[in-house]
Structure 1
Amino acid sequence: YARDGWNVWATYRDLANTIADDRIRHAALDVTAFAQFDALRAQVGAEPIDLLVSNAGIGLDVGTLGELNFDYVQRMLSVNLVGALKLVETFVDNVAASQLRRIVLVTSRMGSIESNLSGGHYGYRASKAGLNAVGRSLAIDLYPRGVAVTMIHPGWVSTQGGGPQAPMDADQSVASMRDVVARMGNHETGNFVSYDGRSLPW
């Protein structure tokens, strides 16, 4: 987006990981630290936000019943679900004041209840299924304000969380998701889709 001339705010849990690009404004944000949302809101001010992307997330839990790490389960819910809702609540007025008025929640097909045929991954599945439910409610509540909300599964991507065996790199995933975002309309708000635009089962 920055390469295309958009004004971009990028947030980082650790500012040491910032991307060296003068077209991007950088800010600290740990989505589990609510005071940081207030600080970021003060930085952004009343600036309209055409596209708000909630992308913070932590990966799969692998414990089985009797061996679950509940501290990690709680952290997944805090980051993947509660943090995303807090982000939207903080900046919804900025989005509503923009021309495009779009919100994207980066979710996972593992949040699909209907498609869960293998079990396990309790915390991760719950956090993403909950995120999908939140996104659907946001779509309903924000429709009168002209704000469209979409939940997008980015695919299996070769990142720190996805691992080197993943079939897609981040650039491929992002390019595909950008195409989906470009086609988003208010009549499609509340959809749960894959990176290529295919509808996913709830």
Structure 2
Amino acid sequence: MNSILVTGCNRGLGLGIIKTLLKRQNSPKYIFATCRNIQASDELRKLSEEHTGKLHLVEIDLKDFDKYGDVVKQVENVVKEDGLNVLWNSAGISPRSSFLGIRALKVNELMDVFSVNCVAPLMLTKAFLPLLKKAAKANSSAPLGVSKAAIINMSSILGSIESNVDGSLYHYRVTKSGLNAATKSMSLDLKNDKIIAVSIHPGWVKTDMGGEKAPMSVEESCEQMIETIYKLDASKNGGFIQYNGESLPF
């Protein structure tokens, strides 16, 4: 993998992915990390200072769809004709009211979560498609996977319709199910371009969203996810997998 862009990197899993990638012996040449406010992202900014030339910070509010073109240009100015190998749509939100059931649903909250969790990954993928195609073409002799071109969509087991035995959590379930459906379509639509697409469940992780009772640390989840994406091949294209590569039911 020569280059990767990860969204939502100011904290949690996004930041964990960046830290894990930087520690790898075969770390990508270029790592792009997005966040809404670079000045407020102290840890991420410090990492960029320690890894000048490798880690590039990109400021973007993912709900500001009109700015996606600017983000693509920033990345293209660095990767040039090599294109972008991996787009990892990691950013996601879920309001506290999600735990209160259907009676607590509010239209504005549902639309907000849908915009970040489902619409943004779709539109950002569309924006980066030319660079992903360039990477696939530039690495035509490489096997299908992250060394050629791949889209990784951060999903959740809560997006699995078959696994839903508890109900509630409408905002997160609906948007992650939608993202899974989008991933499957991407895998079919981009197959001839030699770009693969997968949805990945990071596990139940100790983040602001996962809470302290979660059994996995951010470090454990990210290390396993990255090992998994490095091993992706055609057999996983369009799949819904968890952090260790095991398949999950849609």
Band the TM-score falls in, shorter-chain normalisation: over 0.9
The runs of 5 or more residues in structure 2 that have no matched partner are 1-20, 140-147
Deviation digits for residues 72-113 of structure 1 (CA, Å, limit 9, x no counterpart): 111110000001101111112211221321110000011011
Which position in structure 2 is the counterpart of 1:64?
101
The structure 2 residue matched to 1:145, chosen from 160, 170, 193, is 193
The Cα shift of 1:50 comes to: 1.2
Which amino acid counterpart does residue 117 of structure 1 have in structure 2? V
The structure 1 residue matched to 2:69, chosen from 8, 33, 38, is 38
- Distance in 2 (CA, whole Å) between partners of 1:160 and 1:14 is 18
Q: Secondary structure at the match of 1:20?
A: helix
- Correspondences of 1:22-171 after superposition (within 5 Å): 22=51, 23-45=54-76, 47=79, 48-59=83-94, 61-98=98-135, 99=139, 100-171=148-219
Which position in structure 1 is the counterpart of 2:33?
10
Structure 1 pair 19–172 and aligned structure 2 pair: CA distance change class (3 A)? farther
- Distance in 1 (CA, whole Å) between partners of 2:106 and 2:37 is 25
4+ residue runs of structure 1 moved beyond 4 angstroms?
none
Deviation digits for residues 107-166 of structure 1 (CA, Å, limit 9, x no counterpart): 001101111111111121110000000000000000101001110000011111111221
- Distance in 1 (CA, whole Å) between partners of 2:37 and 2:109 is 20
TM-score by length of 2: 0.77
Which amino acid counterpart does residue 106 of structure 2 have in structure 1? N
Q: Which structure has more helix as a fraction of its residues?
A: 2
TM-score by length of 1: 0.94
- Correspondences of 1:183-198 after superposition (within 5 Å): 183-198=231-246
Whether the 8 Å contact between 1:143 and 1:186 is mirrored in structure 2 is no
Whether the 8 Å contact between 1:146 and 1:186 is mirrored in structure 2 is no
Whether the 8 Å contact between 2:102 and 2:170 is mirrored in structure 1 is no
1:199 aligns with 2:247: yes
Which position in structure 1 is the counterpart of 2:46?
20
The Cα shift of 1:179 comes to: 1.5
Q: Secondary structure at the match of 1:158?
A: coil
RMSD of aligned Cα (Å): 1.4
- Distance in 1 (CA, whole Å) between partners of 2:106 and 2:36 is 23
Whether the 8 Å contact between 2:94 and 2:171 is mirrored in structure 1 is no
- Distance in 1 (CA, whole Å) between partners of 2:161 and 2:232 is 24
Aligned length: 202
